[in-house]
Protein backbone atom coordinates (compact mmCIF):
# COMPACT_ATOMS: atom_id res chain seq x y z
CA UNK A 1 0.00 0.00 0.00
CA UNK A 2 1.06 3.57 -0.63
CA UNK A 3 0.05 6.83 1.01
CA UNK A 4 -0.38 10.33 -0.31
CA UNK A 5 -0.55 13.76 1.27
CA UNK A 6 -2.97 16.19 -0.36
CA UNK A 7 -2.29 19.94 -0.38
CA UNK A 8 -5.35 22.19 -0.78
CA UNK A 9 -6.32 25.80 -0.06
CA UNK A 10 -10.05 26.04 -0.69
CA UNK A 11 -13.19 24.06 -1.28
CA UNK A 12 -11.62 20.61 -1.40
CA UNK A 13 -13.97 18.68 -3.68
CA UNK A 14 -11.00 16.96 -5.34
CA UNK A 15 -9.53 16.17 -1.92
CA UNK A 16 -12.79 14.50 -0.92
CA UNK A 17 -12.98 12.47 -4.15
CA UNK A 18 -9.40 11.30 -3.66
CA UNK A 19 -10.08 10.19 -0.09
CA UNK A 20 -13.22 8.31 -1.13
CA UNK A 21 -11.73 6.69 -4.22
CA UNK A 22 -8.57 5.55 -2.45
CA UNK A 23 -10.68 3.88 0.22
CA UNK A 24 -11.61 1.27 -2.40
CA UNK A 25 -7.92 0.49 -2.98
CA UNK A 26 -4.88 -0.60 -1.01
CA UNK A 27 -3.77 3.04 -0.90
CA UNK A 28 -4.87 5.95 1.25
CA UNK A 29 -4.78 9.68 1.88
CA UNK A 30 -2.77 10.00 5.07
CA UNK A 31 -2.99 13.74 5.61
CA UNK A 32 -4.10 17.13 4.36
CA UNK A 33 -1.87 20.19 4.28
CA UNK A 34 -3.80 23.47 4.06
CA UNK A 35 -2.43 27.01 4.07
CA UNK A 36 -5.71 28.74 5.04
CA UNK A 37 -7.41 28.30 8.34
CA UNK A 38 -10.84 29.22 6.94
CA UNK A 39 -10.76 26.77 3.99
CA UNK A 40 -13.77 24.47 3.64
CA UNK A 41 -11.43 21.58 2.84
CA UNK A 42 -10.58 21.46 6.58
CA UNK A 43 -14.20 20.69 7.40
CA UNK A 44 -14.21 17.95 4.76
CA UNK A 45 -11.07 16.44 6.32
CA UNK A 46 -12.71 16.49 9.75
CA UNK A 47 -15.82 14.73 8.44
CA UNK A 48 -13.72 12.17 6.56
CA UNK A 49 -11.43 11.54 9.54
CA UNK A 50 -8.24 12.62 7.76
CA UNK A 51 -5.59 14.44 9.86
CA UNK A 52 -5.18 18.01 8.65
CA UNK A 53 -2.37 20.49 9.25
CA UNK A 54 -2.76 24.22 8.78
CA UNK A 55 0.53 25.74 7.69
CA UNK A 56 0.06 29.49 7.47
CA UNK A 57 2.40 31.42 5.19
CA UNK A 58 1.55 34.70 6.91
CA UNK A 59 4.43 36.59 8.48
CA UNK A 60 7.05 34.12 7.34
CA UNK A 61 9.02 33.37 4.23
CA UNK A 62 7.87 30.68 1.81
CA UNK A 63 10.92 28.62 2.76
CA UNK A 64 10.02 28.79 6.47
CA UNK A 65 6.45 27.67 5.74
CA UNK A 66 7.73 24.86 3.54
CA UNK A 67 10.15 23.70 6.24
CA UNK A 68 7.11 23.30 8.52
CA UNK A 69 5.37 21.28 5.83
CA UNK A 70 8.41 19.05 5.32
CA UNK A 71 8.74 18.36 9.04
CA UNK A 72 5.01 17.53 9.26
CA UNK A 73 5.27 15.13 6.34
CA UNK A 74 8.22 13.35 7.98
CA UNK A 75 5.63 11.74 10.27
CA UNK A 76 4.29 9.87 7.26
CA UNK A 77 5.62 7.55 4.63
CA UNK A 78 4.44 9.52 1.63
CA UNK A 79 4.76 8.15 -1.89
CA UNK A 80 3.24 11.21 -3.57
CA UNK A 81 2.23 14.77 -2.79
CA UNK A 82 -1.00 15.56 -4.60
CA UNK A 83 -1.93 19.20 -5.12
CA UNK A 84 -5.68 19.80 -5.35
CA UNK A 85 -6.38 23.51 -5.55
CA UNK A 86 -3.26 24.49 -3.56
CA UNK A 87 -2.87 28.18 -4.35
CA UNK A 88 0.87 28.48 -3.66
CA UNK A 89 3.86 28.07 -5.92
CA UNK A 90 6.29 25.62 -4.33
CA UNK A 91 9.95 26.65 -4.17
CA UNK A 92 12.61 24.80 -6.21
CA UNK A 93 14.10 23.51 -2.95
CA UNK A 94 10.75 22.01 -1.96
CA UNK A 95 10.25 20.45 -5.40
CA UNK A 96 13.74 18.95 -5.18
CA UNK A 97 12.91 17.43 -1.80
CA UNK A 98 10.30 15.22 -3.52
CA UNK A 99 11.75 14.63 -6.98
CA UNK A 100 9.05 13.64 -9.52
CA UNK A 101 6.70 12.96 -6.64
CA UNK A 102 4.48 16.05 -6.72
CA UNK A 103 1.38 15.95 -8.93
CA UNK A 104 -1.05 18.76 -9.80
CA UNK A 105 -4.38 19.07 -11.53
CA UNK A 106 -5.24 22.10 -13.62
CA UNK A 107 -8.64 23.00 -15.10
CA UNK A 108 -7.45 23.78 -18.65
CA UNK A 109 -5.63 22.11 -21.50
CA UNK A 110 -2.09 23.17 -20.55
CA UNK A 111 0.07 24.81 -21.77
CA UNK A 112 -2.95 27.01 -22.42
CA UNK A 113 -4.23 29.13 -19.52
CA UNK A 114 -1.89 28.36 -16.61
CA UNK A 115 -2.41 30.20 -13.31
CA UNK A 116 -5.40 30.79 -11.11
CA UNK A 117 -7.97 31.64 -13.79
CA UNK A 118 -7.75 28.49 -15.90
CA UNK A 119 -11.49 27.95 -16.22
CA UNK A 120 -12.46 31.57 -16.90
CA UNK A 121 -9.67 32.09 -19.42
CA UNK A 122 -10.58 28.87 -21.23
CA UNK A 123 -14.24 29.87 -21.25
CA UNK A 124 -13.73 33.39 -22.59
CA UNK A 125 -11.06 32.30 -25.09
CA UNK A 126 -13.73 31.00 -27.41
CA UNK A 127 -11.76 27.73 -27.83
CA UNK A 128 -14.07 24.92 -28.93
CA UNK A 129 -12.10 22.31 -27.01
CA UNK A 130 -11.74 22.64 -23.24
CA UNK A 131 -10.51 20.22 -20.60
CA UNK A 132 -8.23 19.28 -17.75
CA UNK A 133 -4.55 18.44 -17.29
CA UNK A 134 -2.78 16.32 -14.69
CA UNK A 135 0.96 16.91 -14.57
CA UNK A 136 4.11 16.53 -12.54
CA UNK A 137 5.18 19.68 -10.72
CA UNK A 138 8.42 21.40 -11.68
CA UNK A 139 9.75 24.85 -10.75
CA UNK A 140 7.29 26.75 -12.95
CA UNK A 141 3.64 27.70 -12.67
CA UNK A 142 1.68 24.77 -14.17
CA UNK A 143 4.59 23.90 -16.49
CA UNK A 144 5.65 20.38 -15.47
CA UNK A 145 5.53 17.27 -17.67
CA UNK A 146 1.98 16.35 -18.63
CA UNK A 147 0.76 12.92 -17.52
CA UNK A 148 -2.86 13.06 -18.64
CA UNK A 149 -5.33 15.32 -20.42
CA UNK A 150 -9.03 14.94 -21.10
CA UNK A 151 -10.92 17.31 -23.34
CA UNK A 152 -14.47 17.91 -24.47
CA UNK A 153 -16.06 20.03 -27.17
CA UNK A 154 -18.47 22.72 -26.15
CA UNK A 155 -21.42 23.82 -28.20
CA UNK A 156 -20.88 27.48 -27.41
CA UNK A 157 -24.24 27.85 -25.68
CA UNK A 158 -23.07 26.85 -22.21
CA UNK A 159 -22.83 29.29 -19.32
CA UNK A 160 -19.59 29.68 -17.37
CA UNK A 161 -21.20 27.76 -14.51
CA UNK A 162 -22.10 24.86 -16.79
CA UNK A 163 -18.54 24.70 -18.12
CA UNK A 164 -17.18 24.84 -14.57
CA UNK A 165 -19.39 21.92 -13.59
CA UNK A 166 -18.28 19.91 -16.59
CA UNK A 167 -14.61 20.54 -15.81
CA UNK A 168 -15.03 19.61 -12.15
CA UNK A 169 -16.85 16.41 -13.13
CA UNK A 170 -13.85 15.44 -15.30
CA UNK A 171 -11.45 16.25 -12.46
CA UNK A 172 -13.41 14.16 -9.97
CA UNK A 173 -13.48 11.19 -12.32
CA UNK A 174 -9.92 11.22 -13.64
CA UNK A 175 -7.75 12.61 -10.82
CA UNK A 176 -8.34 9.58 -8.57
CA UNK A 177 -7.87 7.21 -11.53
CA UNK A 178 -4.51 8.71 -12.49
CA UNK A 179 -3.31 8.86 -8.88
CA UNK A 180 -4.30 5.23 -8.24
CA UNK A 181 -2.43 4.15 -11.38
CA UNK A 182 0.67 6.06 -10.26
CA UNK A 183 0.50 4.53 -6.78
CA UNK A 184 0.11 1.05 -8.23
CA UNK A 185 3.21 1.54 -10.34
CA UNK A 186 5.21 3.03 -7.44
CA UNK A 187 4.25 0.00 -5.39
CA UNK A 188 5.35 -2.37 -8.15
CA UNK A 189 8.69 -0.54 -8.49
CA UNK A 190 9.23 -0.68 -4.72
CA UNK A 191 8.58 -4.39 -4.60
CA UNK A 192 11.12 -4.97 -7.41
CA UNK A 193 13.76 -3.04 -5.49
CA UNK A 194 13.04 -4.80 -2.23
Pick the stretch among 11-19, 23-31, 64-72, 180-188 that binds ligand GRF (CB under 6 A): 11-19
Q: For residues 131-161, b (16+ Cβ closer than 10 Å) or e, as one string?
A: bbbbbbbbeeebebeebbbeeeebeeeeeee
For the CB of residue 192, give the shortest distance to ligand GRF in the complex, in Å: 33
CB atoms within 10 A of CB 130: 24
Question: Binding residues for ligand GRF, how many (CB under 6 A)?
Answer: 13
Question: Which of 22, 27, 95, 107: binder of ligand GRF (CB under 6 A)?
Answer: 107
Pick the stretch among 21-29, 43-51, 99-107, 177-185 that binds ligand GRF (CB under 6 A): 99-107
Residue 106 lies near ligand GRF (rule: CB under 6 A): yes
For the CB of residue 187, give the shortest distance to ligand GRF in the complex, in Å: 25
- Cβ proximity to ligand GRF: between 107 and 176 the closer is 107
Contact 65, 57 (CB under 8 A): yes
Positive or negative torsion for Cα 94, 98, 99, 101: negative
Residue 13 lies near ligand GRF (rule: CB under 6 A): yes
Residue 171 lies near ligand GRF (rule: CB under 6 A): yes
Hey, which residues are catalytic here? 106
For the CB of residue 11, give the shortest distance to ligand GRF in the complex, in Å: 4
Pick the stretch among 27-35, 101-109, 122-130, 177-185 that binds ligand GRF (CB under 6 A): 101-109
CB atoms within 10 A of CB 126: 8
Residue 122 lies near ligand GRF (rule: CB under 6 A): no
Amino acid sequence: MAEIAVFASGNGSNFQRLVEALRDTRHSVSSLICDRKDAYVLERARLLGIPSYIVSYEGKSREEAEREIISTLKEYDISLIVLAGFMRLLSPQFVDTYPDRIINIHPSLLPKYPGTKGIEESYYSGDRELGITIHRVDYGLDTGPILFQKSFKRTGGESLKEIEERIHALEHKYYPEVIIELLDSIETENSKNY
